[in-house]
Structure 1
Amino acid sequence: MSAPASECLFCKIARKEVPAALVYEDEEVLAFKDIFPQAPVHLLIIPKAHCPGLGDVTPEAAAAVGRIPQVAAQLAKDHGVATGGWRLLSNCGPDAGQTVFHLHFHLLGGKPLGAKLCV
């Protein structure tokens, strides 16, 4: 199910081998615009280290993953959705809708999102 880090699309984005519309980067975390946005603001936030999903977080990746909500809150402010509200979610496994098996969080906002819980 999970591609090795050498073949993982999001690892390639983190290594700058594949272009993406980056909106945030530090040593451990990267955020970029989703290429198929489901809301006016739809960003993907990833740890740079390869991790297939939330059920696979290693102690080495835990610090980066733990910072993602803080990064998301700042990005929500930066993209003008903090006041109206935003959603942060991660799909874990194919039955949940995960299609890229590198842990990532969707930050969505900019319109009423209602009860829909998937992207």
Structure 2
Amino acid sequence: MTEEQTIFHKIIQGKIKADIIYQDKYLMAIKDINPQSPVHILIIPKTYIPNSNYINKTNKKLFGYMFYIAIKIAKKIKIDKDGYRIILNCNKNAGQEIFYLHIHLLGGKNLGTLLNNK
């Protein structure tokens, strides 16, 4: 897959403003502009990876680090006790809309059961 200029590329490059919750040299976490719950944060690596199918030996530590930071943010904003959900969508049938690996951190309300449809 070739690298395209997604909205996440532009946010990381500073071409589009975002509400940044966390940032370091490996990734950034931003508030989702179309939140699906009171807390909806996107954790995005600064290295382009189209989706989880592209996790490999060279970038697997970054993948784990994304989850580590999601949990760290959940604790910082105090949704860790009541609960939160971490979601990763891979390709269209799973709901991936932006083909740049990212995870969703959701919380701040009862999120219900995981699978509501059959």
TM-score (norm 1): 0.89
Structure 2 counterpart of 1:94, which letter?
Answer: K
1:30-88: CA deviations, max 9, x gaps? Answer: 10000000010000001111111000124333222110111011100122211100000
CA contact (8 A) 1:3 1:101 kept: no
- 1:97 maps to 2:78: no
TM-score w.r.t. length of structure 2: 0.90
Give the structure 2 partner of residue 60 of structure 1: 58
Q: Secondary structure at the match of 1:24?
A: strand
Q: For 1:75-111, what per-residue CA distance to the aligned partner results, in whole angstroms no more than 9, with x for missing partners?
A: 0012221110000011100011100000000000000
CA distance change for structure 1 residues 95 and 42 in 2, over 3 Å: closer, same or farther?
A: same
Task: Give the count of matched residue pairs.
Answer: 116
Tell me the secondary structure at the aligned position of residue 60 of structure 1: coil
* SS of 1:65 mapped into structure 2: helix
1:10 corresponds in structure 2 to 8
Partner of 1:19: 17
SS of 1:18's equivalent in the other structure is coil
Separation of aligned partners in 2, 1:23 and 1:79: 10
Contact 1:31 1:44 survives alignment (8 Å): yes
Distance 1:46 1:25 in 2: 10
**1:85 matches 2:88:** no
Is 1:108 the counterpart of 2:106? The answer is: yes
Mark the CA change 1:9 to 1:21 in structure 2 (over 3 Å): closer, same or farther. same
1:28·1:47 contact (CA, 8 Å) conserved in 2? yes
> Is the alpha carbon distance of 1:27 and 1:83 closer, same or farther for their aligned partners in structure 2, counting shifts above 3 Å?
same
* CA drift at 1:3: 6.6
RMSD: 1.7
